[in-house]
Amino acid sequence: MTDCVFCKIIAGEIPGTLVFQDGQVTAFRDLNPAAPTHILIVPNQHIASINSLADQDEALVGHLFTAARQIAAQEGIAEGGYRLIINTNAHAGQTVFHLHLHLLGGTPLKYPMG
């Protein structure tokens, strides 16, 4: 998608503070962090939301989570704990319509959510 900000970050067309990238996913720091560590993990393939997933995307979604585990360890927050969030559509707060996983940590997080 030519107008998708996340696609532009993945392609290197606009800057992003990358912390991880491979053939399937890219991870970068959120510009408006909600925690000391706030990283967005996105598939390199443009998928608008969870509602847009196809059956063949199952392995890709699994890779988002294994990348999150690896990044949490790399960031030094795995042992203390972290939260993973996916917002889907407007009522959930999705503002960029490119599937993304929020990795939050580095401090005790509030509970309950919502």
Q: Exposure pattern of 80-97 as b/e (b: 16+ CB <10 Å)?
A: eebbeeebeeeeeebeeb
What positions carry a catalytic annotation? 100
DSSP 3-state helix, strand, coil percentages of the chain (rounded to 5)? 30, 20, 50
Q: State residue 86 phi and psi, 5-degree precision.
A: -125, 120
Q: Tell me which residue has tokens 């585990």.
A: 69
Angle at 70 between CA 51 and CA 110, to 5 degrees: 65
